[in-house]
Every structure is written in C-alpha cells, then in structure tokens.
Amino acid sequence: MHGTVTEAIERATLEVFAIMVGVDLVPKVQWKNTGGEFGSNVESSFQLSGAVSGTAMVYYTLTLATRITCQLLRIDPPVPETDILDAAGEVANMIVGSVKNLLECHWGSIRIGVPRVVLSGQRMDESRGMRVSFRCYDDVFTVSVVFHEDPSHWEN
Amino acid sequence: MGVRVLIVDDSSTIRKIISRCLQQSELGISEMCEAGNGQEALELLAKRPVDVVLTDINMPTMDGIQLLSVIKQNEAWKSIPVLMITTEAGADSVIAAVSQGAAGYIKKPFTALEIHDQLAPVVKAVVRS
C-alpha cells in the first residue's frame, strides 16, 4: 500500500511539474522539516473521501511557491500574496487530482474536497502518512497523504 | 471576424495560463473574457455572447456542469460549444458533461498544444457557421 501511494505521488508530481511548470524535479530527496516563522511556508491541503478517507497535502517554502508562480505566469517578482496562494494551490490541486486518478485504479472512486491553501510556519506532522519530497530549483517541497484509518486491510 | 472565447475557472492562475495559450495559438481568437464561476459566466454571456466557452468543472457558487446545463437549455446560447477543463478525465462528471452536450474536455495538467488541438476543430466549426 505504501508503495502504491508513494508511486502515485511521485508520478503525479513529476507530470504536473513537467507539463505545467516546465521544470524537471528530482524525487525522493531528503527534506528538513524545520518549520519557520509564520508565513514562511505555503500549505495546500485537501480532504479525501469515498473509497479512502484522509488528507493530501503539498508543502512548499514561500520562496519556492513564489518562484513557481513566476514560472507559471511568466512574470518577475514581486508577486502579490494572493497570486502566490492561487498558483501554489492550483499546482497542488493538479497533483492531488492526478494522485487521486492513479489511486482510483486500485481502490475505487475517491472525492477531493475544496482545497485549503494557507501561509504557515508550522512543522509538518510527519508522525503519520506517506510522503515524497522533491528537489525543485535549489529548494525542496513535499507531497503527503495521511489516511484517517489504518489502510492495511485495503491491500489484497 | 475573430472568435470570442469565455474562460471560466475559479483559479486566476489557470485563467491567465489559458489566455496565454490562446493568444499564442494562431486560432484567430480575437477576444477573451474571464469569469471566476458559473454565475459570473452567465452574467457575462447576458451582456455579450461569445463563440466558445472553456469551463472548469469544480467551482464555487455554480460549477461547470450546472453552467453547461444552463447554457444548453437557453435558446440564445445552446449552440455555443462548451469545453470542460478538469483534473478528472473519465470520471462521472466528465461523462455527465459529454452526455449533456459538452463539445469535449481538456485534462489538467495540459500543454499549450493540447489546448490548441482541442480547440482547433471547435473554432473551425464556429468560423464555418
């Protein structure tokens, strides 16, 4: 199950960045989950329901989110915070949508809730779930999926 | 005379990316307008009809499926081709859209070429008519 989810995360994220952002990522890198002062990170989270129940999250630094926004919109900084949150959220939406499509092949219909995109400084909760970190430019971001129930019974 | 396109998506990022793709597409798009949800799209259509609608499916206030339904039930608008933009190719919402008369769909993430290839036959038919 872990392999199914992490493979889906890796495949979906690489595809979205190659096609929309035009950037090649390096997957499965080490990520320092240090948090920071408030506003230093952008968190996009999505509730999953249906065949599985959980939360998918994409976690960037604000610096990286800004750079991704500039690349998507072909603009130079400074960029309004609303534009950064929208762009970062939309990239996360496409990643999670693609992960969902891949996981549905294994587990059946999954619904994605309305995205929640916020600035934060908190450390990401690494105690549960599956995650893959990616190097993008000279920064690292993480995509994670946490299931609300023990998914071990889902595997055949 | 050029083709007028309405882009409907709650993400300003996606609207800007699609606008850029259309500007660079050499499809003869003369005018683009944007709306953040289905309700705003209907308000724009009431003021000035367009030739093609590109709409996201999942939006607040009024989603793309509801927008498609209203357009197809309106005598003045029902011949306007509507293409759906979605992360969920093959899902129930896409099937529902096509059965309600959507002219096609574009899956996110998309390339400029994919936008062009989905739109080209639709624009050609509009110009011919």
Whether residue B109 and residue A16 make contact (CB cut-off 8 A), yes or no, is yes
Cis peptide before A27 (omega within 30 of 0): no
Instruction: State the pLDDT at residue A35.
Output: 58
Query: Rounded mean pLDDT of chain A?
Result: 87
Q: Is B23 on the interface with A (CB under 8 A)?
A: no
How many beta-carbon pairs under 8 angstroms link A with B? 46
B50 phi/psi in degrees, rounded to 5: -120, 175
**Which chain A positions have a beta carbon within 8 Å of B109's beta carbon?**
15-16, 19-20, 94, 98
Instruction: State the pLDDT at residue A156.
Output: 44
Most distant CA atoms of chain A, gap in Å: 50
Instruction: State the pLDDT at residue B80.
Output: 96
d(C-alpha B55, C-alpha B69), whole Å: 12
**Which chain B positions have a beta carbon within 8 Å of A98's beta carbon?**
87, 109
d(C-alpha B67, C-alpha A12), whole Å: 29
Instruction: State the pLDDT at residue A28.
Output: 85
* Per-residue model confidence as pLDDT tens digits over A33-64: 655 666 688 999 999 999 989 999 999 999 99
Instruction: State the pLDDT at residue A122.
Output: 66
**Which chain A positions have a beta carbon within 8 Å of B12's beta carbon?**
83, 86
> Residue A40, class by beta-carbon neighbours within 10 Å (0-12 exposed, 13-18 middle, 19+ buried)?
middle
A positions 126-145 inside 8 Å of B (CB): none
A143: closest CA of chain B, how far (Å): 17
What average pLDDT does range A106-127 have in this prediction?
Answer: 81
pLDDT tens for chain B, 129 residues long, are 689 999 999 999 999 999 999 999 889 899 999 999 999 999 999 999 899 999 999 898 999 999 999 999 999 999 999 999 988 766 777 888 888 899 999 999 999 999 999 999 999 998 887
Beta-strand relationship, A54-61 and A139-147: antiparallel
* Per-residue model confidence as pLDDT tens digits over B80-95: 999 999 887 667 778 8
> ipTM score of the complex?
0.88
* Per-residue model confidence as pLDDT tens digits over B105-125: 999 999 999 999 999 999 999
Q: Is B11 on the interface with A (CB under 8 A)?
A: yes
- Please state the pTM of the whole predicted model: 0.91
Q: Tell me: pLDDT of A154 over 70.
A: no
Residue for token pair 């050029």: B2
Q: Is B10 on the interface with A (CB under 8 A)?
A: no
Question: If residue A147 lies in a helix (H) or strand (E), which one and from where to where?
Answer: strand A139-147
Q: Is A105 on the interface with B (CB under 8 A)?
A: no
Residue for token pair 């683009």: B32
